[in-house]
Amino acid sequence: MTTFDQITSPIKNHLQEFEPYFKEAVKSNIPMLDKVLHYIIRRKGKQMRPIMIFLAAGLTGDITEKAYHGAITIELLHSATLVHDDVVDDSFQRRGAFSINALWRNKIAVLVGDFILGKGMTWCIEKREYKFLELISEAVSSMSEGEIIQIDKARKLDITREVYFDIIEKKTASLLACSAAIGAASNTDDDEIINTLKQLGRDIGIAFQIKDDILDYKQSNVIGKPSGNDLRERKITLPMIYALENCNKKEKKRTLKLLMKKKKTSDDIQVLTEFVISKNGLVHAEKEMMKFTEKAIQTLNTFPESPYSNALNHYIDFVTQRNK
């Protein structure tokens, strides 16, 4: 099992130096805003996107101040999207703690998200990182498109395999693709190298989201039942898509009727989960995830072996082996 230390081994010092760098970048002179920003910083996750930037930078040259500028911008953008996502999903928890909208309500949450996003864009302009700005603007547009498509399809429950992959490429993979591209762009203007790293990030991002969708059907160690958050929100992901493609009309009708329910009980989630498992939906999703994993490894193998390429291999393993 891959450990997090294996991923961060060649960039530990850079991550440590990045912490105060990032905190300084998000300071505000408005007490209330500074309080909310401090809350966000204290509860940020594993920083998978800044890690991607530093590893991609190491893969293509030196880790310079430009890579730090990119990492700050990406972390700001990611933080803004999480705040906005919680408002869109009406979610009151984020990583086991109260979300911003739960504590300060939707209006403040939206405005804070806007402020953070604006900070990221302003940072790029101040540092004259115009290539970063181009890559980030593209990612922001893609993420918004993916979210809107998903909301629309959740209402109609007519999502297809093609639409699913379009959604996750836009909504999730685009930011990891952007991170890898920024890491490369911190060292080179060669579009071929930048686009190769972007594809690497995109494939890892797609595998990451498929794994997330699989985990939604797995039993929780705490309650012994699947979380079913996607099912509760009527998000039809790859395991369910495959199951619906491989069932009879009666089963499909019954399943869609259950999916349409606005308020699903734990028993409803259990029935839907057992249906997906019985149709090998999770097995199929695992196979699809591994296809993108293999594509990412093939791309990575085009670069010389180094501590950074080894760490990225561990990064890919971590994405597919994690259990939460």
- Give the C-alpha separation, 146 to 295, whole Å: 22
- The pLDDT assigned to 317 comes to 94
Is the model's pLDDT at 307 over the cut of 80? yes
Is the pLDDT reported for residue 45 higher than 80? no
Q: Is 0.85 topped by the overall pTM?
A: yes
Structural domain ending residue among the three candidates 205, 228, 249: 205
Are residues 199 and 113 located together in one domain of the fold? yes
Q: How far apart are CA 194 and CA 4, in angstroms?
A: 26
Whether 59 contacts 183, CB under 8 Å? yes
CB 94 within 8 A of CB 22: no
| CA–CA separation, 176 and 182 (whole Å) | 10
H/E run at residue 10: none
Which of 163, 185, 205 is the endpoint of a domain? Answer: 205
Task: Give the mean pLDDT of the chain.
Answer: 89
The per-residue pLDDT for range 248-280, each reduced to its tens digit, is 999 999 999 999 888 889 899 999 999 999 999
Please provide the distance, in angstroms rounded to a whole number, between the alpha carbons at the two ends of the chain: 14
Task: State the total domains in the chain.
Answer: 2
Residue 5 lies in a domain: no
* Confidence bin at 226 (pLDDT 50/70/90): low
Query: Could you tell me if residue 240 is inside a domain?
Result: yes
Question: Which token pair is 92?
Answer: 């009151």
Q: Which domain holds residue 129?
A: 11-205
Which residue has better confidence, 194 or 44?
Answer: 194
Amino acid, res. 200: L
Q: Do 184 and 197 touch, CB atoms closer than 8 A?
A: yes
- The proportion of the chain whose per-residue pLDDT surpasses 90, expressed as a percent, equals 57
pLDDT at 224: 41
* pLDDT tens by residue, 205-225: 999 999 999 999 885 444 344
Quick one: pLDDT at residue 157?
82
Is there a single domain that holds both residue 61 and residue 173? Answer: yes
Has residue 15 been placed in a domain? yes
Phi, psi of 46 (to 5 degrees): -80, -5
For residue 243, what pLDDT is reported?
96
Who wins on pLDDT, 181 or 4?
A: 181
**Judgement on whether residues 62 and 172 belong to the same structural domain of the protein:** yes
Which pLDDT band, with edges at 50, 70 and 90, does 94 fall under?
low
Residues 57, 184 contacting (CB under 8 angstroms) = yes
Q: Which of 178, 205, 232 is the last residue of a domain?
A: 205
Q: What is the mean pLDDT of residues 148-152?
A: 88
Q: Does residue 202 carry a pLDDT above 90? A: yes
E strand or H helix that includes residue 94? strand 93-94
User: Is 44 a residue whose pLDDT tops 90?
Assistant: no
Task: Tell me what the mean pLDDT of segment 99-118 comes to.
Answer: 84
**Domain at 78, CATH number:** 1.10.600.10
Pick the more confident residue, 196 or 156.
196
Q: Residue 22 contacts by C-beta under 8 Å, 6 or more apart in sequence?
A: 41, 71, 72, 75
The pLDDT of residue 98 is 79
Q: Please name the residues in contact with 7: beta carbons below 8 A apart, sequence gap of 6 or more.
A: 51, 55, 311, 314, 315, 318
Same domain assignment for residues 154 and 111: yes
Same domain assignment for residues 46 and 152: yes
